[in-house]
Structure 1
Amino acid sequence: MTRGEGMKYSIKTQLIGIFTGLMAIVLLSTWMINNFFMESYYIVKKEKLLIDTYSILSEASLTDDYEGESFGEKVRVSCGENSILLLIVNNQYKKMYRNFYSEGEAGIMAGRLFGYFMGIDTTKSDVLKVGDGYVVQKITDPNTASDYLESWGTLASGDYFMMRIPIESIRESVRISNEFLAYISIFVMLLCALVIWWLSKKIAKPLSELTDLSKKMADLDFDAKYTSGGKNEIGQLGENFNMMSEVLEKTFSELKTANNELQNDIEKKIQIDEMRKDFLSNVSHELKTPIALIQGYAEGLKEGINDDEESRNFYCEVIMDEASKMNNMVKKLLTLNQLEFGNDAVIMERFDISALVQGVIQSASLLAQQKGARIIFTNTGSIDVWADEFKIEEVVTNYISNALNHVAGDMVIEIKINKLLSEKKVRVTVFNTGLPIPREDLDKIWIKFYKVDKARTREYGGSGIGLSIVKAIMDSMNQKCGVINYDNGVEFWFELEADETANSVSEQQEKEW
């Protein structure tokens, strides 16, 4: 979806469109109803007003004098405030009362009244109501070409009357009302549009944050949190998202652990018998030499082949050294046995591989100084990975120990951490200057008890198990490891799954130990 399409379908845009549309429909409907039906409504109201006025005037005609103040007040209240033209004549059509001063208008009304009663008026009219003593009608006066709402008939006193309201005044009122409503509608629409825009922005902002948060969670970025707050339903939804993110991260970690265990279980049963045979064969072979040395030197001590103290001390040191090597080898064998048989559970978790490598280097720095070797670590900042932290620490320790045991030439050990972006992996490499590994031995160095240079391995007390432990650990996490020969040395490497959501890579820095 493009940015334009996203804006088109955003809640903010939809809210503005819906509310503005509804408001426009309401205002337009009001204007149309006012424009098309207001005149009819006015005429109905004026019709009722004429009937009410007739009742008041008819009753007053029995008791009040047309010229008296009481009748005039009633006319003023009933007619004057509603623009009603009133004419009263007797049965001789003599003018008894009128509330206007135009003689011409009075003559026209008297003539029409005469025509109505005599039945000689042929002007077309629209009769609205016929009552007891009165008629209400709409008519176009041929003398003035104006439309009127008329009421004519006989008062209770027997006198004739006619009341008129100009319809043009009603139309003018409707026009002014419509014009005023149009201006008000434009102003209200602009004001409401601003209010709706502000409200929609306020509502859409946390929803947009929740949308981004859900996308990050879908990409397994569990560090993203909802921060807009609020105590309404959206705020509660955001808090639930945060809780769900924590639960998902925990579940994802457990799932990775369970997935590794499942993959290991599939292969474990097939390999168990073979591993037992290899284990017994290799252990018996590797223990044969140190046991023979211990037995020989112990018998020599017992038989007193050399009686001097220096020789006895030498014999004891050989026995202790061989016993220590056997103890170390047995420990490694136990570790390897647990890994290969799947008895040592793999706990997948997220940690900083850069900090772990730096910690192992610091532990090995004293031994490096004793050997006269320089350890160079290219620090790339914090890089998070998914793996078993304690087992990876053992892998790094074995690689660095192996490099220290075989470093030669320039006496340099270089450690690097690189991100393989295309594969979403992190590769850790440990390079040491010295002799490369013979090509025919490259695939065999991972086998238990295999030694490329048996004499040199014996010199530093190697058992040929360290790289086997590395291979077993990496296999237990379904990750790769390997070795690369160079003209001036050897590089060992292993890969781990990168945590794409949390890595922050800083400027590279090299540190030397």
Structure 2
Amino acid sequence: MIKKFSHSLRMKITLIILILISILLLSIGILNNFGLPWFYQNEKVSEIKEAYIKIDDEVMKIGSSGQHIIDESSDKSVINERLKNIIMDYSNKYNITIALVDSFTNKAIYSSAREGDGLISRIQDGFIGNKYQNILYKNDNYAIILHQTMQKSSFIEGFGYCSDNQTIVIMSTPVASLKESVNISNRFLIYMAIIGFIITVIMTFVIAKMITQPILQLAEISNKMGKLDFTAKYNGNRSDEIQTLGQNMNFMSDRLKNAIEELQEANELLKEDIKRKEAIDEMRKDFIANVSHELKTPIALIQGYAEGLNEGLCEDEESRKYYAEVIMDESEKMNKMVKQLLTLSSLESGNSILHKENFNVTSLITSVLGSISILIGEKNVNIIFDSTKDIYMFADEFKIEEVITNYISNAIYHVKDFGEIKINVFYDSDSIIFSVFNTGKSIPEKDISNVWEKFFKVDKAHSRAYGGSGIGLSIVKAIVEAHNGSVAVKNISDGVEFSFKIPKA
């Protein structure tokens, strides 16, 4: 079974590589045979067009400056130097024969080759009276054709007038040598393809064997592991993925061996999990009972007052308004409790994402005090807070604001009239500590450890009066612990102090 797998994989690797090499060589041959002449022809057309534009521009410059293309003031006729340089540059660099012709005399003014008049005659044969012109490019002043002479020679030739309507520019470059070069190149590629194919077959077979041999060894090890024999190990010394696979199989073998020994321990853990599940079920039942209890009172009030409105017990407008306000107030309390439960659930499940940033805690406390200033005024409370020192914290500002608001609100609700609230925030050695103290009744010692539990209320009647649900401090604890911090509460002479501590960034 394993030998058959190895043989199959080796053949697949060999065939895939050979097919890819064959496709590559075939593509090169097709491109060389069909693409090279087309590319060469377009390049030559572009070179002739470029040469024509430069020559035309120079002829117009010469004419506009009052000069002549040919200077006949001396004993010899001399062509303008700049124009001559352009013609010779394209002639030498791109193998283009260029001639300038006077359209009035039909004689060559200047030619980059000796046979200027012969070139004119040949090109005119190609352009004039030839019904089978292979036009490669044409505009109002200039045309480029592929011209095949009676001697079966091929040229790319251009013929046209300069913008002065007197000077004719003719150009020619041979293409016969390209066809011969393409044929030679194709033959060379065929020979190289045959040799390369043979070498590729041999090399591919050797490489495939090198690849499949360690895979065969790994397959043998996996076969033994399937029979729970973990003594076989991979001992290769390579630096590739197969070495990584072998090391992973050795690691997996050790892990499987240890896993069998750990099954007994897992059974004990399973028993503990069952107990934990039972405890969670009990907590769920308690949670449902608490929620039901908290919702029962507002629902009963809403139902009672709604029935009173429905049965017409409120004959005057003021009574109806009072009934409606009670219904709205109780509905708001239920809505607030549901939102708090959702927030707490998100925090406890770890789904709440902290958006940490560096912010000024002092400014945040000042903002919170401003937002509840009306409530502070109603209680005639004296707030003591030093807002001059800036304390910076790296945390989720929105969630820390919720913690601070909860602490201060609780202090206001529980402070005695004309009492005092002290707010303090300061740096510790490695933390930032925030505390709120309010004068008033202390918390019974037996209840201090329970104030962070959901739905726990020290004074249920008082909590009901200001709309407390017993969830706020649970949310505070969850937020602070999400920041790797801790919460605390303690009785102080004539009051209670709540605090939290969060590590510095």
Per the normalisation by structure 1, the TM-score is 0.42
Q: Select the structure with the greater relative contact order (CA < 8 A; seq sep ≥ 6).
A: 1
